[in-house]
Amino acid sequence: MKLDSRQLRYLTSEDWRVLTAVEMGSKNHELVPTVLIAQIAGLRGGSGVHKSIATLAKSGLVAKIKNAKYDGYRLTYGGLDYLSLNTLRKSDTVFSLGNQIGVGKESDIYVVADPTGKQLVLKLHRLGRISFRTVKANRDYLRNRTTGSWMYLSRLAAMKEYAFMQVLKREGFPVPEPIAQTRHTLVMELIDSFPLRSIDNVSDPLKLYGELMELIVRLAKVGLIHGDFNEFNLLIKEDPVTKKSTPILIDFPQMLSTTHENAQWYFDRDVNCIKLFFSRRFNFTSDEPGPFFADAIKDTDQSKRLDIEVEATGFSRKMAKDLDRFVEAVGFTNEAEEEATGAQEAVDGQEDEEDDEDYSEDDEEATTSQTAQEDQTEQELAEQTHTD
């Protein structure tokens, strides 16, 4: 879905109140009754509310649910995007919206500018826009989710990512500086770089390889496994003067603790992703075996367990559990594996027009059969695009 901010300035303050009311009402209602919208917005149920609702619906920020038992509206991802942009604008975090630079499996990435013109990155999480290809046993878990619950999970992904970026940055890890987080979005430093994936030659593969393995081990020593450590999520930044290149790690919603029951498996997968990439791309294979999980966690500094620290912040254990259930249900192939199996393809910056705003199948499609839904998801998967 395209984030089109043009409407932002045409919305009246009443429209905003109504949109905010729909968001608030969504906490308890999948479909927010029109009377409740009017009540929360503090507007009399007269023509004002209806006019605002009509404007919002026309812009795709709220939507009706087909065959609903009562008159009401729900928030769309477009509406949630607008609310987030408005919050970021009011706090002077974001002044203008620039180009989209990434269409991920489950996120959209835009360049934005702050009021001084400095460029930043806005990441919008879009859980629910997934490939169900890998999902067998847990189809019901995914299918039965409502739009609201996808939005909740997207918010969790943004919160988790932001929380980890904050502690990692503080501890001196090479990650973008986190700047703000609201709802399903976060704002961070723009890294002027190329993803490792698009780099054909490095002057010293041994050195870069060593740095990356060291990074995986350093993470494990503070209790963390990235879980998707690969050429898509490593940005290579080159110092314009010294020409020295530094890897910067991004993309943290799947980060897990070294105490996770499958920690070793995830650790090995991160290590092997890099090994495989280096051998294929740079024809480089290290003489040294490992690194090994058992060695990496041997001298963990218990006072610096970032996995425990993050759990103690706003991103609670309950939230972590909710998000983990989703991650498990999706089966969690990583991006490198997805590409290897042809599940995603690169695009030339063209966004799919049909790529719609709401990917949950719970409402409008409520009457279609199970198979029809599956067909639809397969088709969506075939149309899916990826540029990172």
Catalytic site residues? 228
User: In degrees rounded to 5, what are phi and psi of residue 2?
Assistant: -85, 140
CB of 206 to ligand ADP, least distance (A): 24
For ligand ADP, give the closer residue by CB, 73 or 162. 162
Cα separation of 22 and 28, whole Å?
A: 11
Q: Is the Cβ of residue 107 or residue 245 nearer to Mg ion in the bound state?
A: 107
Choose the contact partner of 105 out of Mg ion, ligand ADP, none; CB within 5 to 8 A by kind: ligand ADP
Residues 96-115 that bind ligand ADP (CB under 6 A): 101-102, 104-107, 109
Q: Which does 128 bind (CB under 5 to 8 A by kind): Mg ion, ligand ADP, none?
A: none
CB-neighbour burial class of residue 139 (10 A; exposed 0-12, middle 13-18, buried 19+)? middle
In the chain, beta strands by DSSP E: 32-33, 62-63, 72-75, 96-103, 107-113, 119-125, 178-182, 185-189, 194-195, 224-225, 234-238, 245-249, 256-257, 345-346, 385-386
* Closest among 234, 60, 272 to 22, alpha carbons compared: 60
Q: 41 vs 34, 52, 76, 81, 95, CA distance in Å?
A: 11, 11, 18, 19, 26
Segment 212-241, which members bind Mg ion (CB under 5 A)? 232-233
Query: Residue 278's CB: how many other CB atoms inside 10 A?
Result: 21
Closest distance between ligand ADP and the C-beta of residue 25, in Å? 30
Q: At closest approach, how far in Å is the CB of 228 from Mg ion?
A: 6
Strands 185-189 and 234-238: unpaired
SS3 63: strand
Q: Which two tokens stand for residue 112?
A: 């934005």
Per CB under 6 A, the list member of 36, 83, 168, 188 interacting with ligand ADP is 188
Which of 126/305 has CB closer to ligand ADP? 126
- Does 190 bind ligand ADP (CB under 6 A)? Our answer is yes
Q: Indicate the residue among 24 and 101 with the shorter CB distance to ligand ADP.
A: 101
Binding footprint of ligand ADP, residue count (CB under 6 A) = 21
Nearest Cα neighbor of 4 from 386, 357, 388 is 357
By CB under 5 A, residue 251 contacts Mg ion:
yes
Of 218-257, which residues contact ligand ADP (CB under 6 A)? Answer: 232-233, 235, 250-251
Residue placing its CB nearer to ligand ADP in the complex, 80 or 186:
186
Of the candidate spans 14-22, 37-45, 185-193, 257-265, the one that interacts with ligand ADP by CB under 6 A turns out to be 185-193
- CB of residue 199 vs ligand ADP: minimum separation in angstroms? 12
CB atoms within 10 A of CB 256: 20
Given the complex with ligand ADP, which of 30 and 337 has the nearer CB atom? Answer: 337
Q: 34-41 and 13-25 are packed helices; what angle lies between their axes, rounded to 10 degrees?
A: 120
Residue 373 per-residue DSSP state: H
Binding site for Mg ion (CB under 5 A): 232-233, 251
Residues that bind ligand ADP (CB under 6 A): 101-102, 104-107, 109, 121, 123, 176, 188-191, 195, 232-233, 235, 250-251, 388
